[in-house]
Amino acid sequence: MKTRYSFGGDEHIFVEVDEEMSLEAFFKSLSMTRAVRESQIKGVTEICPANASYQIKFDPDQISPNDMLAELRQLEGSADGGDTVLNTRIIEIPVLYNDPWTHETLMRFRERHQDPGSTDLEYAARINDFATVDDFIAAHSGAPWFVSMVGFVAGLPFMYQLADRKHQIEVPKYLRPRTDTPKLTVGYGGCFSCIYSVRGAGGYQMFGITPMPIYDPNQEISYLRDFMVFFKPGDIVKFKPVDRDAYDAAVEEVEANTYAPLVRDVTFSLAEYQKDIDGYNKQLRETLHGN
């Protein structure tokens, strides 16, 4: 992986760890942003990690752009052999796949889609060589996902599938973005899944919806009182398909402010994961349910 540095005016440096997304690139980016934080470089005001890159904002009155670049290059050497073990958490996210709200929305925007004659789920299943939509849903919900970035829209997580390359799902975005996407839609674009934290425009394929809020600027939801954004980079997500009754029951709990996400602490080792991907994913699922 060859790191590329770019200046953004006088107070930003954008660091591209790799041109394509991979767990190795994500871990290097994570290692470098941690190193920047721990080094307490004078003048750094903001550290923004992304999928396979990160951006540093700094005060040019305290450190010049060239000196900031030199500091980052110095940290890169340690990051190349850096952290491949991460203390994080695994979270179960219930999803009502093929729900009526995203279905109504996607039908309104078929002229913007690659295949106007099918639904987003049907299209995704077909181009990924799954025999049925149910088989596709099983694959989407079967493997865990790494939250590699949070942002673009407040609280929106980008999630990268923990699977070997030949089994990773890939689905293109809409030909033209929609002007509407229901809040808490589980979407897909390229190699990333996401959850739309708010209602708004979007171009990702729509597979379902979760009853679990992930962003609360008022911090009134019990599990979002400490911080308005639920996800952070490094979180591991396991989608759980639910039926309409379970979805409605969860919505009632959210409205009563009694909903509690299923969350477990976990240590993720990139090296151990790469030795046995299926076996390691099984361990992650067992950790989630206390087995």
What tokens appear for 120 in the block?
């987003």
Q: What's the number of domains the chain is made of?
A: 2
Q: What is the pTM of this model?
A: 0.90
pLDDT tens figures, 165-201: 888 999 999 999 999 999 999 999 999 999 999 999 9
Note whether 104 and 30 are same-domain residues. Answer: no
For residue 222, how many other CB atoms are within 10 A of its CB? Answer: 14
Note whether 141 and 276 are same-domain residues. Answer: yes
Note whether 93 and 71 are same-domain residues. Answer: no
Note whether 215 and 262 are same-domain residues. Answer: yes
Residue 252's CATH number? 2.40.100.10
Mark which of 31, 56, 82 sits at the end of a domain. Answer: 82
Contact 92, 99 (CB under 8 A): no
Q: What is the pLDDT along the chain (291 residues), one digit of tens a residue?
A: 678 999 998 999 999 988 888 888 888 888 888 889 889 999 999 998 888 889 999 999 999 999 999 999 988 876 655 558 889 999 999 999 999 999 999 999 999 999 999 999 999 999 999 999 999 999 999 999 999 999 889 999 999 999 988 889 999 999 999 999 999 999 999 999 999 999 999 999 999 999 999 999 999 999 999 999 999 999 999 999 999 999 999 999 999 999 999 999 999 999 999 999 999 999 999 999 876
Residue 209: predicted pLDDT: 98
Note whether 40 and 102 are same-domain residues. Answer: no
For residue 252, how many other CB atoms are within 10 A of its CB? Answer: 12
Query: % helix / strand / coil in the chain, to the nearest 5?
Result: 35, 25, 40
Say which amino acid occupies 252. Answer: E
Note whether 71 and 192 are same-domain residues. Answer: no
What tokens appear for 147 in the block?
């939250």
Q: Which domain holds residue 210?
A: 87-288
Residue 145: predicted pLDDT: 96
Contact 189, 166 (CB under 8 A): no
Residue 18: predicted pLDDT: 85
CA distances from 133 to 77, 97, 101, 231 (A): 46, 10, 18, 28
Find residue 158's DSSP bridge partners.
149, 194
